[in-house]
Amino acid sequence: MYWQLSTEVIGMLGFAILVGCPAAIYIYKTMPGAYKEPLTVSEFLVSIALVAVIAFITISYHVLKVAMSNPVEALRYE
């Protein structure tokens, strides 16, 4: 059940990573400034890992909430 609910979110996260990382590098390269620190791969990996952990915690919370809910309550309001 977890995998079924998380595949769409994982796909969106993958697309966001594929679009966001090159965009961040391009914006950083074109940004003016004398005191810019160089970008490293570890900064991107840490940010990707942090976003993935937050997404998995959120998905897990919602899956547990749905799994523990009473189906009669959901049908009563439809």
**Which is more confidently placed, 1 or 13?**
13
Helix (H/G/I), strand (E/B), else coil: 15: helix
pTM, to two decimals? 0.74
What is the per-residue DSSP string for 21-77?
Answer: HHHHHHHHHH---SSPPPP-HHHHHHHHHHHHHHHHHHHHHHHHHHHHS-HHHHHHT
What pLDDT, on a 0 to 100 scale, did the predictor assign at position 50?
95
In whole angstroms, how far apart are CA 14 and each of 58, 60, 68? 17, 18, 29
CA distance 4 to 7: 6
For the stretch 22-72, pLDDT in tens is: 999 999 888 888 778 888 999 999 999 999 999 999 988 988 888 888 777
Find where tokens 């976003």 sit: 51
What is the model's pLDDT at position 31?
87
Per-residue model confidence (pLDDT) at position 78: 63
pLDDT score of 8 more than 80: yes
